[in-house]
Structure 1
Amino acid sequence: MPAIDALVLLLLERGNGAMERGKLIAELGLDSVSCTRSLNRLEEGGCVFRSCGVDRRTLVVELLDGGWDVCEDLSAVFADGADEDVAISVEANGGHRLLSEAILASRGLSRMQRDLRITRTQALALLVAQRWGLNTRAASSATRIAELSGIPRTTARSALRALQKRGLL
């Protein structure tokens, strides 16, 4: 499971299990194509269901039982006192390595976003770059961040540029 999918599930959980697609896009700083790809993966995995809202032009995303189960596992990991051992346990019990990395990174994601006043996507790109020791000045960095986080390469490149402009890289 790409890290962005885990973040989508957690955001849906905070929204009481349902949220408009447009709000998901705004909250995560995604483009519509990335959001659709993430929702496709989550829907195929039995985690979410998409339907029309009251206004038929609005798409609503709802957590299914499988999604609630994943959120419960993730919430336990994010609880106070959770540490690297829990993330390693998630990976050992069939969780993808990126998910365990997302768990470790997400503990500081909101704090970083708030403290640095950057978007969630910029915070994710920064955390991925730091975690894997990427040279953020190299042209291949955006591609590697995209592979590791699940965000599009162009979005990763834009996030890196914005972070460099602000002197955070």
Structure 2
Amino acid sequence: MRAAILVLFILGIAAGAQSARAGLSDTPREISAPADAAALADEGTQQSEDQIRLSRTKRRDVQRGLARIGFNTKPTGKFDDQTRDAISRWQEQHGYPKTGFLNAAQHQALMNESADAAQDGKSDHTDRRHGRTRRGGGGIGGPIGAIGHVVGGIFGR
């Protein structure tokens, strides 16, 4: 069995060597813009924010979203100075005009970023014995992890 693993290992190295000889690709890649150009041109104003018709609940969602991605806000449902400042800093960080008011495109981008952060947070879990947060399952995953698992089982890890 060990000989079979050794042969497979050597074949894997030989197959990888062919790819390595091919070298780097010189094909140009498309790079997308960080923000929609139309959204950048249309800065957020009190009027654009009024057009979104944010209810008190949706305003709280915006405030929770800002807090989730690292901007200090309290979910009161009212956009006070602290919230306007957080929106301004978020806009600046993303290349939008720094107004403190959202337009529809910015609101959607903020909520998407917040939802992504919430999804990332669900994959974190705390090791309560040591007070540390670990990402994912705590081990090597994918094909490398599978090989380690098989080899560890064969050689009695």
Indicate the TM-score class for this superposition, using the shorter chain for normalisation: under 0.3
TM-score by length of 1: 0.23
More helix by share: 1
